[in-house]
Chains A and B, each alone.
Chain A
Amino acid sequence: MQRKPGRGVAIVGAGMSKFGAFPGLATRDLFVEAFRELLASVDKGFDARDIEALYIGNFSSDLFEGQAHTAPIMADWVGLTPRPATRVEDACASSGVAFREGLIAIASGLYDIVLVGGIEKMTDLPTARVTDTLATAADVTYETPAGFTFPGLYASMATAYLHAYGATPEAFLKVGLKNHENGALNPKAQFGQRIADIIEARKASAAKKGKPIPTWADELAFLNDERANPVIAWPLRLYDCSPISDGAAALLLVSEELARRFTDAPLYVIGSGQASDGATHDRPTLTGIPAAQRAAQLAYAMAGVTSADIQLAEVHDCFTIAEIMATEDLGFFAPGEGWRAAIEGRTARTGDRPINTSGGLKSKGHPVGASGAGQVVEIWKQLRGEAGARQLPGEPCLGLTHNVGGTGQTCVVHIFERR
């Protein structure tokens, strides 16, 4: 039996901090920035004291900042104590799952108005320790002792994918190019630059230093140059990987019957699905993510829609291969066809399947515990016609988010409708 929420839930406000590297700013500072934008986003205004509970996604402030127990701090810093504040940790899916917990809390009838947040502060640590911290989202008994890092685990799925489907790594580079194109139009993105802009910046930097000016025939030549785009974990290179980021996002959820008290353009949450899985090596396939397939099936069934109905999606492109697998796991393309679709430009803003109009985790940035909530912010903007230079034409009314924890030990999918 396909269960439905006990009552409908809508989003009536959304905000995010800029994503990037911000020395001197802690998660609480970034969360306040996101909350301020949320307050300003509620069309008819509201009294923040009406918020009844908080669900905060956060992967590992414990290791990144030396600060655990972060949810009550967020509540305190936006003036919302003594309301219950719950931290949700499912690795990089933390705030996607926090969103689902907020949805369930309202659907249960316990609360009418809930604040969902996502926070992460990653850039205080050196890269090796960030790598170590991210690797705690894998199985530290049986995966990391093999030498696997997070890029390494996704790279191993990439070699399995290339082998199974005869795909070429050029498809990965195309995903990165596309997401940088989109991110260049997003003022909140960590990389507000197209690859072409990065090439020009490299040339300008060399000229300024009086060094020989490098030349590349085109963007693909740049991305295939080991010096410009070094291998991190073969076949994945630097520009296949999402960056190390700081950031926060915040969403205001209310029961459906209250929604129009806050705005005439709420987003209704019509589908929600979540699934779990074991270690990467224990799965029946390495060329897709079974928990994502399962979460998508559950969300489509709850929403009463199919993959063909979805007009835009923010998917978890922590690595370029992950975006290609996501477009297959979500049913947008048949297994083994996602890489061709990427090369053909079908996932660009101008394509028939726009994916990651925000720039995705690749370009917008990936403060891991904030990424799931950040995806919802983009759907909020696109479905309300507020996405500025990257706005999709045709007034889209159905969007989807796909947020993965680890290599797919957790996946959560949500479907949103503007009516």
Chain B
Amino acid sequence: MSEKPFTGTAFYAFLKEHKLMGARCPTCGAIYAPPRPFCPACFNAELEWVELSGAGRLASYSVIVIAPTAMIEAGYGREHPYCSGVVELAEGPCISAQILGVDVAHPETIAIGTPVKVAFIERGEGEAQKTFLGFEVVP
């Protein structure tokens, strides 16, 4: 469905189009998100792109108070903590993402296993504008 190489650049270019894309191994059927150029399960090097449903559940998380520079520039930090987590996608693989729609003031209320769906987070302006992967709690 795409001739793009299986790179991080391509993954983020798809995110910009609001598509969460993974790689599928036609030989063994394994799905990889983030995408990979090479199947570590069966050593096949001819993978194909697959668009993922964006549905998943929260596998782990943290509410981060001491933020890295990139998140401070995005407006987060001591006064505005944010949630990052690992999401187990409906298709099987797990991926890291910012988690939206949770009560960061009460992290103990955030529940592992909560259903989430993909969200596309725009940061930066002009040339520096980039789309980041997020998931939000399904209401």
Contact = CB atoms under 8 A, between A and B. Distances in A.
Interface of A: 127-129, 131-132, 135, 141-149, 151-153, 155-160, 163, 230-236, 279-282, 286
A12 B62 CA distance: 44
18 contacts: A127-B66, A145-B96, A146-B97, A147-B71, A148-B84, A149-B64, A152-B84, A155-B62, A155-B64, A156-B61, A157-B60, A230-B65, A231-B107, A233-B66, A234-B64, A234-B107, A279-B96, A286-B59
Contacts of A127: 66
Contact of B107 (A132, A141, A235): A235
Contact of B66 (A144, A149, A280): A149
Contact of A280 (B63, B69, B71, B96): B96
B34 interface: yes
Nearest to A238: B66
Contact of A159 (B62, B72, B97): B62
B8 interface: yes
A132 B68 contact: yes
Nearest to B85: A156
Does more than half of chain A's interface fall in helix, strand or loop, or is it mixed?
helix
Interface residues of B, number: 34
**9 smallest A-B Cβ distances: which pairs?**
A155-B62, A146-B96, A160-B60, A141-B8, A234-B107, A234-B63, A156-B60, A147-B84, A163-B112
Contact of B69 (A129, A232, A234, A236): A129
Contacts of B72: 128
B27 to A, nearest CB: 20
Contacts of B94: 281-282
B38 interface: no
Contact of A286 (B60, B66, B67, B70): B60
A248 to B, nearest CB: 26
A233 B96 contact: no
A232 B62 CA distance: 10
Contacts of B112: 159-160, 163
A408 B24 CA distance: 26
A159 B34 CA distance: 23
Given A160-B59, A233-B65, A280-B86, 13 more contacts: A128-B72, A131-B67, A132-B68, A132-B69, A142-B8, A142-B95, A145-B133, A146-B132, A147-B76, A160-B86, A163-B112, A234-B62, A234-B63
